[in-house]
Chains A and B, each alone.
Chain A
């Protein structure tokens, strides 16, 4: 399906070159988003593991919240 842009108020059909550029930027964004999601998941896993270990050492939930965060 044809794609359009709004240029200073005028709706204009994208050229083939512009569409291709848009697609390649979208792919790059997806790559970055996936990498960021992976990094966030890794941090969450480490936090959960740290919480479990600290709880086993006797820290209360309130103490854990202050030390490790949400």
Chain B
């Protein structure tokens, strides 16, 4: 087919475009999950073949004092053992706990998850060789603490190479009572 050159003013960007083919080379906005009633966890399916997962979260809040964490699942189930190596640091006013952790990925830092607080941020996981994934992210607290918590680490999927889903939950079993998540898969 002959190449058609379309200038910007020829496209109505307010219109709705229904793509029926495959658009490649772009990150896909998979889902927007919004917590409107308290839930114990938020699970999101990851498309097969994904090598980069980016999650943007806003206004996360807990029903009782706890830490909001992330875990990944493979075809063998959610990884809850010592499959993670991670460390958090805090940059800002006051000193909130820098800590290491091995059974989950922390989204904030210790102390961010008090019930009078909520926080927003970003977390990205990248496949290194399938088995190993590195992650890094940051979260800014809205109310109780002025500063940014940073997290970085690595996940070991063992004999698997695909992350099949992502789980967000209160590590101590508390419900998450508010917040929204956007997931981008590449």
Q: Interface residue count for A (Cβ, 8 Å)?
A: 22
What are the interface flags for B96-124 relative to A under an 8 Å C-beta threshold, 1 for contact and 0 otherwise? 01010101100000000000000000000
Interface of B is mostly: strand
Q: With A8-B45, A11-B39 in contact, do A23 and B173 touch (Cβ < 8 Å)?
A: yes
B38–A29 CB distance below 8 A = no
Q: Does B41 interact with chain A (Cβ within 8 Å)? A: yes
Q: Which residues of the other chain, A, contact B67 by a CB distance below 8 angstroms?
A: 29
Q: What distance in Å separates the Cβ of A9 from its nearest Cβ neighbour in chain B?
A: 6
Specify which of A8, A14, A21, A30 lies most central, judged by the most chain B CB atoms within 10 Å of its CB.
Answer: A8
Q: Interface residue count for B (Cβ, 8 Å)?
A: 27
Cα distance A36–B67 in the bound complex, in angstroms = 14
The residue on B at minimum CB distance from A25 is B80
Q: What distance in Å separates the Cβ of B147 from its nearest Cβ neighbour in chain A?
A: 15
A3–B175 CB distance below 8 A = yes
Q: Does B172 interact with chain A (Cβ within 8 Å)? A: yes
Q: Does B52 interact with chain A (Cβ within 8 Å)? A: no
Cα distance A21–B71 in the bound complex, in angstroms = 14
Residue of B38, B103, B173 touching A22 (CB-CB under 8 A): B173
Name B residues whose Cβ lies closer than 8 Å to a Cβ of A: 31-33, 35, 37-45, 67, 80, 95, 97, 99, 101, 103-104, 169-173, 175
